[in-house]
């Protein structure tokens, strides 16, 4: 009975706090009923119950720490129940950091472009970090153009000199100038720890030579004692990233535990009491992917060795994470597996179809994929919550709006003409859909309706990823104080918020004063 009550509680509470549809936590319910048939015969360990409670209020780290402690003390077994629980919690944490990283990339570029326009003459350090932001936005020609102005010119001191050269080489490589790139890379492989570390990371990130990248990043990692404190996080994350890319998920995850993502790489001070904090953009992205790797380590065996609904749930999550890791073929295979194993017309089947066809769109097979998605919309038009979940998968898969605008219009024609008892999650997904199509005012309307009115910024009653998206939309509409209020609240619970907080507060400062940079305590 206690187990059933816990399952019911998970279904009712869900990731948005209160009164959300039970579909959000169906995987947990299925886990319990598939493997623990009855509360009397197979009770869930209290440690797992406590971890689920912590996960429900979005305290991911505490939940994982509780499970790890119970495993060390042999209070629970490393069985399928534990693996699935850990995998799902890490999946949620990874999604938060993945979203944070994507917003970091976008806002850092616009933020630095604004500062560079204001700061004349432009300091080389600002050009350096602007060039790197172009690189992560896949604007490689622009990145190479601006980095060429500062890298290898003797105007930057070490370790930023080698750091700039590494990204200039990477931009050359992605622009097709590979010989020119390797001339630079070869000089950096065993130079300063930071330069070597970034070179090793880029070898893995770009798929140039992952095994050599791991070797170089390890060499730099082992020289951690020779660098200042502010460089230790990036050396750790770069090495861990190369391990993750090599499939060594467990070791990668182990060494990033406790890493500080809020350490700026450089602080530029235009005035005595004002400063521009410049962060390494790869850190949050690497951290998210390392978390996904550990989640895959826990969920992939379930997808491979079991069958039925639980395997379909695990397969979908693994497919989504492989997409985030850039492993398109693996993502596609697991999306197909999730579809085959799922119950007909179930939420998992709809999500799997959405992911499978999103992958087809992104690999040039869009005509057939769009037809399949359109047909799926026709099948489930009377289930607005499921329609929104389907589109959320498409959005998160990275499919450009231009390719799906007809689908979005079709979904909206059903959604807005249907009256149903909307949950907070439904409102949040309506906000996501509005933002996807560029309607920020409507996005704010729905995202605000999704927020817990009594505890509007508390992560215990609001999904952190949803709060992050609301902060971003506020930023787009120049509601800076509202945006910063959310980020300050998130920063109390999550490392890595300071970069985004810095971007938003800096732009706010420029708008208010016309120049300068706000000092963030």
What is the mean pLDDT of the segment spanning 459-467?
94
Which residues are CB-neighbours of 13 under 8 A, at least 6 positions away? Answer: 20, 25, 56
Note the pLDDT tens digit of each residue in 294-335.
999 999 999 998 778 899 999 999 999 999 999 999 999 999
On the question of pLDDT at 268 being above 90, the answer is no
pLDDT band of 372, cuts 50, 70, 90: very high
What is the mean pLDDT of the segment spanning 346-357?
97
- Write the DSSP symbol of residue 44: P
| 30 or 147, greater pLDDT | 147
pLDDT for res 10 = 36
Which residues are CB-neighbours of 75 under 8 A, at least 6 positions away? Answer: 45, 47
Mean pLDDT of the chain: 89
On the question of pLDDT at 507 being above 90, the answer is no
What is the mean pLDDT of the segment spanning 344-350?
95
8 Å CB contact between 374 and 411: no
On the question of pLDDT at 164 being above 60, the answer is yes
| 521 or 411, greater pLDDT | 411
- Residue 308: which region, alpha, beta or left (left: phi > 0; alpha: psi -120 to 50)? left
pLDDT for res 42 = 53
pLDDT for res 199 = 98
What is the mean pLDDT of the segment spanning 171-190?
96
Which residues are CB-neighbours of 188 under 8 A, at least 6 positions away? Answer: 162, 165, 166, 169, 195, 196, 198, 199
Count of residues in the chain: 521
pTM of model > 0.85: yes
- Backbone angles phi and psi of 457, in degrees to 5: -120, 10
Q: What percentage of the chain exceeds 70 in pLDDT?
A: 90
What is the mean pLDDT of the segment spanning 340-348?
94
What is the mean pLDDT of the segment spanning 464-484?
96
On the question of pLDDT at 28 being above 60, the answer is no
pLDDT band of 190, cuts 50, 70, 90: confident
On the question of pLDDT at 521 being above 80, the answer is no
Note the pLDDT tens digit of each residue in 33-86.
444 443 444 578 999 999 999 999 999 999 999 999 999 999 999 999 999 999
pLDDT for res 514 = 53
pLDDT for res 27 = 52
């Amino acid at each position: 009975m206690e187990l059933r009550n816990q399952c019911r509680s998970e279904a009712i509470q869900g990731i948005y706090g209160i009164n959300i549809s039970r579909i959000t936590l169906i995987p947990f319910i299925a886990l319990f009923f598939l493997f623990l048939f009855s509360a009397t015969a197979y009770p869930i360990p209290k440690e797992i119950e406590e971890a689920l409670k912590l996960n429900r209020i979005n305290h991911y780290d505490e939940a994982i720490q509780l499970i790890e402690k119970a495993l060390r003390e042999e209070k629970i077994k490393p069985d399928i129940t534990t693996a699935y629980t850990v995998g799902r919690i890490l999946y949620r944490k990874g999604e938060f950091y993945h979203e944070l990283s994507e917003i970091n990339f976008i806002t850092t570029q616009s933020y630095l472009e604004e500062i560079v326009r204001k700061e004349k003459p432009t300091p080389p350090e600002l050009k350096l970090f602007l060039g790197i932001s172009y690189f992560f936005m896949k604007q490689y020609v622009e990145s190479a153009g601006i980095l060429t102005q500062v890298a290898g010119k003797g105007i930057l001191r070490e370790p930023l000199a080698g750091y700039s050269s590494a990204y200039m080489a990477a931009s050359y490589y992605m622009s097709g100038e590979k010989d020119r790139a390797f001339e630079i890379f070869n000089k950096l492989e065993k130079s300063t720890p930071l330069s070597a570390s970034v070179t090793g990371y880029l070898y893995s990130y770009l798929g140039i030579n992952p095994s050599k990248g791991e070797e170089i990043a390890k060499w730099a990692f082992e020289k951690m004692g020779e660098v200042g404190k502010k460089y230790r996080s990036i050396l750790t994350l770069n090495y861990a990233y190369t391990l993750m890319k090599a499939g060594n998920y467990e070791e990668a995850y182990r060494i990033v535990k406790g890493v500080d993502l809020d350490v700026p790489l450089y602080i530029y001070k235009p005035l005595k009491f004002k400063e521009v904090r410049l962060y390494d953009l790869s850190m949050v992205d690497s951290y998210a992917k390392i978390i996904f790797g550990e989640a895959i380590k826990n969920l992939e065996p379930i997808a491979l060795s079991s069958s039925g609904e639980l395997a379909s749930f695990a397969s979908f999550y693994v497919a989504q994470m492989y997409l985030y890791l850039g492993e398109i073929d693996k993502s596609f295979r697991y999306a197909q597996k999730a579809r085959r194993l799922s119950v007909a017309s179930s939420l998992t089947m709809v999500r799997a179809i959405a992911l499978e066809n999103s992958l087809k769109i992104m690999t040039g097979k869009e005509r057939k994929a769009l037809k399949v998605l359109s047909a799926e919309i026709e099948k489930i038009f009377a289930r607005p919550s499921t329609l929104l979940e389907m589109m959320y998968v498409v959005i998160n898969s990275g499919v450009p709006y231009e390719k799906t605008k007809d689908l979005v219009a079709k979904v909206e024609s059903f959604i807005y003409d249907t009256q149903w008892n909307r949950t907070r999650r439904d409102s949040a997904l309506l906000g996501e859909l509005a933002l996807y199509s560029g309607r920020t005012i409507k996005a704010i309307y729905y995202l605000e309706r999704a927020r817990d009115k009594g505890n509007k910024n508390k992560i215990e009653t609001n999904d952190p990823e949803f709060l992050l998206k609301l902060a971003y939309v506020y930023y787009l509409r120049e509601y800076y104080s509202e945006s910063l209020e959310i980020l300050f609240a998130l920063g109390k619970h999550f490392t890595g918020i300071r970069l985004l907080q810095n971007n938003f507060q800096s732009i706010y400062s420029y708008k208010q004063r016309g120049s300068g940079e706000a000092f963030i305590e």
